Amino acid sequence: MTNRRNFLKNAGLGTVAAAGATTLAAPAVLSQEPIKWRLQTYAGGALGEQVTKPMVDYVNNASNGELQIELFYADQIVPTGELFQALQRGTIDAVHSDDDSMASPTPLRQFGGYFPFATKHILDVPVLFNQYGLADIWRSEYEKVGVAWISAAGQDPCNFNTKKEIKSVSDLEGLKLYTFPTAGRFLSKFGVVPVSIPYEDAEVAVQTGELDGMAWSGITEDYTVGWADVTDYFLTNNISGAWIGSWFVNQKRWADLPAHLQQLVLAATEAGHTYRNQWYWGGEARLRAKGDKLQLRTVPAAEWAQVEDAAKDFWKEIAAEGELQAKIISIFQEYNDVINQAGPPYNFG
C-alpha cells in the first residue's frame, strides 16, 4: 500500500509538472488589433449593395480578422467630387469610383466613367486594361500622385431614362440630365444640359422638375435605385457600352499592408468584378424583356450614327490635349478596329 500511495503521489506530481512545463513552453499568443480601412464608394446604398459591398464582405470574411473594411456609400464621408483629395490625405483609405466622378487630378480623369463609344460591352473594360495596356498606364499615373491603383472593371452601359419620350436625336435638345462630367461635355453637343447634383438627390430632382432624367446607367440601375419609379421611358441607344471604374487605395496604406493581405484584397476585387459582370449582364436583358416600369424606345440606327460620328471628332479633341491622351485614344482605336473586324457579337451594341 505504501508503494502504491507513493506511486500515485509521484505520478500526480509528474503530471502537474508536465502540464506546467507544457504551459511554460507554449508560445505566447499576442492580441493584435485588426488593420482597419474606411472605403467610400461612388454608389448610393441600394446600388452599393451590389457593386461594392461584395468585395468588402469578401475581405472581412476571409481576412481572419486581420483586415476589416468599413464601407461608406456615396457622399457619406466626403462628396464624391472630393473623393480623390480625401484619399490622398488619408481621410479615407480606399475608394471605388470612376476617375471622372472623383475629380482625378490626372489626365486619366475623362477616360473614367463613360468615355463616349470607347466600349461596346462590359467585358471590353478588362480586355482594354489587361490585354491592351491601360492597366500599366493607370498604375503609373496614380503612383505619381500618391495613390495605388488596384484594378478596373466594367459595369452597365450609359443609356437614358427620361420623363420625355426620345424618338430622335433632336429630342435630346434641352433635356436636363444627371450625367457624368465627360459624358455631359459630349452630350452638350446635342443640346443636353448636364446637371451636377449629389447622387442621392437625383430621384427627387426628377420629381421636382429640376431634372428631365438621367444619362447615368443601364436599366438595371434604374430599377435598383428607384429611378424607374420616377421616369417613364428608357432609350436603348447608348453613348458607351460600359462604365469604366476602378479601385484605389492610399499609397502608404497599401504599402503598409502585409503581402498576404494585399493578395486577399486583389482576390476580393476580382471576385467583385465577376459578380458585377453577371449581375449587370443578366439584369439588362431581363429588365428590358420583362420590366414593367419603363417603356422602351429606340432611335433608328441610321440616325443614331450621327452621335457615333460626333464621338470620333470628340476623340480627336481629347487626343490633341496631350501625349498621354493621344496614347489612350490610339488604344481605343486599335481595339475598336479589332472588334469591328471580328464582327458580332463583339461589335454589336
pLDDT in tens, 229-271: 999 999 999 999 999 999 999 999 999 999 999 999 999 999 9
Classify domain 35-154+244-290 at the CATH topology level.
Answer: D-Maltodextrin-Binding Protein; domain 2 (3.40.190)
Task: Determine the pLDDT at residue 23.
Answer: 39
Distance of alpha carbon 340 from its chain centroid, rounded?
A: 27
Selected from 1.10.340.30, 3.30.1490.100, 3.20.20.150, 3.40.190.170, the CATH number assigned to the domain covering 159-240+294-342 reads 3.40.190.170
Above 90 in pLDDT, residue 213? yes
- Calculate mean pLDDT across residues 211-227: 98
Above 80 in pLDDT, residue 324? yes
Distance of alpha carbon 34 from its chain centroid, rounded?
A: 26
Above 50 in pLDDT, residue 148? yes
Task: Determine the pLDDT at residue 1.
Answer: 42
Query: Residues near 157 by Cβ (< 8 Å), separated by ≥ 6?
Result: 218, 238, 240, 241, 242, 243, 284
Above 70 in pLDDT, residue 86? yes
Q: Map residue 255 onto helix, strand or coil.
A: helix
- What is d(CA 219, CA 286) in angstroms, rounded to the nearest whole number? 10
With cell 496604406, the residue in question is 253
Q: For residues 88 and 250, is the Cβ–Cβ distance under 8 A?
A: yes
**Which residue ranges make up each domain of the chain?**
35-154+244-290, 159-240+294-342
Above 60 in pLDDT, residue 278? yes
Task: Determine the pLDDT at residue 74.
Answer: 96
pTM: 0.88
Above 50 in pLDDT, residue 24? no
User: Of the candidates 63, 88, 66, 68, which has an alpha carbon nearest to the alpha carbon of residue 78?
Assistant: 88
Q: Map residue 93 onto helix, strand or coil.
A: coil
Percent of the chain residues past pLDDT 70, beyond the cut? 91
Task: Determine the pLDDT at residue 54.
Answer: 98
Task: Determine the pLDDT at residue 32.
Answer: 76
Task: Determine the pLDDT at residue 348.
Answer: 72
**H helix or E strand, kind and range, residue 215:** strand 213-217
Least confident interval from 4-8, 159-163, 211-215, 284-288: 4-8
**H helix or E strand, kind and range, residue 159:** strand 159-162
Q: Is the peptide bond before 344 cis (omega within 30 degrees of 0)?
A: no
Above 70 in pLDDT, residue 44? yes
Q: For residues 309 and 171, is the Cβ–Cβ distance under 8 A?
A: no
- Calculate mean pLDDT across residues 24-33: 49
With cell 493581405, the residue in question is 261
| Cell numbers representing residue 157 in the block | 452601359
For the chain, what is the total number of helices (H) and then of strands (E)?
Answer: 13, 11
Tell me how crowded residue 133 is: count the other CB atoms within 10 A of its CB.
14
